[in-house]
Structure 1
């Protein structure tokens, strides 16, 4: 039976009662208070083996008390509770040296388990100083699914562990990778992102490891690779499932030995980077198909993080919409508000493009419509029309009343895409990236029109049947058959 004294500070009497009952039954001695002053008096007098405290209390914020506790008693573990379940709350709790962060509502069994570990271990985390700012929140959402993500991230911030982020396109995998870097111990080093799907397969090794002059046709000078550029910082390998086998072998050698050679080079180069990988694919299935090395998978999948699709966290949509409106306003676009009925319609929509799709919609609403208040009717119109038609409708058409051509729609969307980068250019590999974005809906629509008949779809597209099959496999397009 565990023993030890737990000091609980929370201004909610119901929370104090349930924690008292659960922890007392588990064998702990429990002391309860509703304010920070009493908690500080107990701690400064040497009482307690564990502190469990809410963030917001009537007399003082726990984040102001925790540093004093850490300075006075660095070995006293502190568990932070909060109903303000944001990413920054979890990060700040971690940075201030909290043993654990618990979003409300919490599971009592989990609390008892954490208390047992904390009291027995008496471990404290290193204080690294807080970096908070509402304008710099990289991740938005208070749903239970996001809370789990925040808790994992908070535990990883001060480590160099390799991380694998898995999630559908548009869920924010690069945002998570950037958060791990920007709030971690490598924050002063470079963050370098590489999208494996955007680089021609025969150039991936040169892109990652660099090449020497004359290493291949067209190599007119030495070029540094992404590993060299990321030295001392973080290398984010996005869409790792698209990496060819030869490059996988070289990457595995880097992870095993901590060094690499440039293409055409002979001298090994030591590397000091943290690897964060991401994919929307099922890599275990790719392993079974012989498309991904199993040993590399285990090297990369040290800490897996699953990002939930937006349809699993629809309660976050109001916060996300307000966040995107605020971002657009800072960029000089008109301020907007949204009525409750419109938010309700957004929550009921199935977001196949996830948070990125929602963000793009909010930007369109902000840029193209003169109304100050976004109504449910506007949302309904947005959701019921293709993106190109929405832009034309919002700007009163092309003057002819005709449906825009595919080339017009592409030109409009590409212009919007380039405008998002301001004076900068988008990442290299645009041709292959856009080609993939066009091929996927084109082939999917052709298969739907032919009820899954690949021979007819190939004829419709003007492709060889084997070519179509390969594209279906590479693009991971579901194959269906007509029941008729």
Structure 2
């Protein structure tokens, strides 16, 4: 490559539409693009030419884009690799991290961010070096089988990427989020997929322990240390030695215990209650809370220095209402779990799913799981329909959203006309209205974007895979809206 030649990018993507969009954006920034559809074409291109950066999809027509990176590194060891994937599971993010990818982008991705990442990678001196002690070997299955977290929404992608980035180090993590969002599952994922997986995982709910016993619970005690201490006891820190200690509801920890916890985190040493000898422990700390710790600090109820010691890597879990596109995959996951637990095999109708997707879910994913198990137990027949949802779960799932009254007059008039014609049963207004109005809404978005499904999905605020699925189910022909050439 001559000194003044533009940086050459190798794009490995078997979706022609996505490849066209990426190529156009990168060419606008002055890059030269070589596009390959398969691993075989990629390897041939690497044998012929040198490239500044490779951008690759994971699922290609002849193999796995991540699993085959050894051949890429053999041909171009200093070339940064950016990974794209529509799978959007925690496993994919972890595999991308383990493969030493320069960056990972779940689909649908922000095109501007991808272009910026390519520019940054093209200016890098070489591929990111592997971290010391990084675990080798195959990651769990590509569909995330066996992993504790479920969901492919954009809201969960940031969570997955943060988890992937802390697996090969021992930085302290603070997981925040409402009750029922899965904070302990995040801690388990970090432990199971990280470098301490062979060590113990010890969880303790600090809110469930009486304040006068929490220090003994955490640090242990010697015989005779207090009334009732009839024998020596090993605390959670020692039990977790070599592994991970998960401190749940850390915002409810008493002040004195906070002081001793801070000392243990700073020194890596503990002392049992009533003991004189300090004990060295090697423990990774993951803390969690559903409370906002900043006001507690201002009130003097939580130590500010402990907060900064715990909040090295913050991971914020979104409530279920902010990731409603995950309700379908979560529901299918829980239905399968229910069968494993001995309950009848069930399936949801489209209207039943639409009702679940409108529910407030104040208890988040935990509440959804309980509801799915209740439906699996009590529903009549294999199919769970909207009537079963209203009867078994309760009326909340059947409520129509309040903002309808303030909708534009044209939409309200159209809805009134539809209601007069269809006359849906009580409780099914929202689900039936979604089904009736979704097709023209998607068609309008495709018309506005001239058939570009990626832009249409972004306009609608949904995942591109969800849009593709609905296009097939609603028998929409996106080609009708494409720009004529």
TM-score (norm 1): 0.76
Match of 2:115 in 1: 112
- Partner secondary structure for residue 63 of structure 2: coil
Which of 352, 360, 370 aligns to 1:350? It is: 360
Match of 1:29 in 2: 32
Q: Does 1:146 align with 2:156?
A: yes
CA distance change for structure 1 residues 169 and 2 in 2, over 3 Å: closer, same or farther?
farther
Q: Deviations over 1:267-304 (max 9, x none)?
A: 11111111111000000010011100011001100111
Report the Cα distance in structure 2 between the residues aligned to 1:211 and 1:373, rounded to whole angstroms: 55
Q: Deviations over 1:151-178 (max 9, x none)?
A: 1111121121111110000000000110
Task: Check the 8 A contact 1:10/1:33 in 2, yes or no.
Answer: yes
Task: Check the 8 A contact 1:163/1:300 in 2, yes or no.
Answer: yes
Match of 2:248 in 1: 238
Which of 116, 121, 128 aligns to 1:124? It is: 128
Q: Deviations over 1:311-363 (max 9, x none)?
A: 11111001001001111112222111111100000000000000000001111
> 255-264 or 376-385, which moves further after superposition?
376-385
Task: Check the 8 A contact 1:70/1:97 in 2, yes or no.
Answer: no
CA distance change for structure 1 residues 44 and 233 in 2, over 3 Å: closer, same or farther?
farther
Match of 2:438 in 1: none
Which of 334, 337, 344 aligns to 2:344? It is: 334
The structural deviation recorded for 1:45 is 4.7
CA distance change for structure 1 residues 377 and 294 in 2, over 3 Å: closer, same or farther?
same
Match of 1:295 in 2: 305
Aligned length: 386
Match of 1:162 in 2: 172
Q: Deviations over 1:58-96 (max 9, x none)?
A: 222213322332355443321111112122221222223
CA distance change for structure 1 residues 70 and 232 in 2, over 3 Å: closer, same or farther?
farther
Match of 1:85 in 2: 88
CA-atom RMSD, angstroms? 2.0
TM-score (norm 2): 0.76
Structure 1 portions without partners, runs of 5+: 387-484
Q: Deviations over 1:206-231 (max 9, x none)?
A: 10111111111101111001000111
Which of 367, 382, 387 aligns to 2:377? It is: 367
Report the Cα distance in structure 2 between the residues aligned to 1:213 and 1:270, rounded to whole angstroms: 20
Which of 275, 278, 293 aligns to 1:265? It is: 275
Task: Check the 8 A contact 2:251/2:293 in 1, yes or no.
Answer: yes
Q: Deviations over 1:102-124 (max 9, x none)?
A: 01111122112222332314233
The structural deviation recorded for 1:385 is 6.9
Report the Cα distance in structure 1 between the residues aligned to 2:25 and 2:125, rounded to whole angstroms: 20
CA distance change for structure 1 residues 241 and 34 in 2, over 3 Å: closer, same or farther?
same
Structure-to-structure mapping, 1:203-282, within 5 angstroms? 203-282=213-292
Structure 2 portions without partners, runs of 5+: 397-485
Report the Cα distance in structure 1 between the residues aligned to 2:228 and 2:53, rounded to whole angstroms: 64
The structural deviation recorded for 1:46 is 5.9
Match of 1:97 in 2: 100
The structural deviation recorded for 1:42 is 2.5
Q: Deviations over 1:148-203 (max 9, x none)?
A: 11111111211211111100000000001100110111111111101111111111
Report the Cα distance in structure 2 between the residues aligned to 1:2 and 1:146, rounded to whole angstroms: 39
Report the Cα distance in structure 2 between the residues aligned to 1:2 and 1:263, rounded to whole angstroms: 69
Task: Check the 8 A contact 2:287/2:310 in 1, yes or no.
Answer: yes
Match of 2:7 in 1: 4
Report the Cα distance in structure 2 between the residues aligned to 1:224 and 1:121, rounded to whole angstroms: 50
CA distance change for structure 1 residues 379 and 130 in 2, over 3 Å: closer, same or farther?
same
Task: Check the 8 A contact 2:251/2:302 in 1, yes or no.
Answer: yes
Structure-to-structure mapping, 1:295-444, within 5 angstroms? 295-384=305-394
Task: Check the 8 A contact 1:99/1:125 in 2, yes or no.
Answer: no
Task: Check the 8 A contact 1:193/1:236 in 2, yes or no.
Answer: yes
- Partner secondary structure for residue 225 of structure 2: coil
Match of 2:59 in 1: 56
Q: Deviations over 1:395-423 (max 9, x none)?
A: xxxxxxxxxxxxxxxxxxxxxxxxxxxxx
CA distance change for structure 1 residues 64 and 131 in 2, over 3 Å: closer, same or farther?
closer
Report the Cα distance in structure 2 between the residues aligned to 1:196 and 1:89, rounded to whole angstroms: 33
Task: Check the 8 A contact 1:2/1:28 in 2, yes or no.
Answer: no
Report the Cα distance in structure 1 between the residues aligned to 2:364 and 2:270, rounded to whole angstroms: 37
> 72-81 or 53-62, which moves further after superposition?
72-81
Match of 2:482 in 1: none
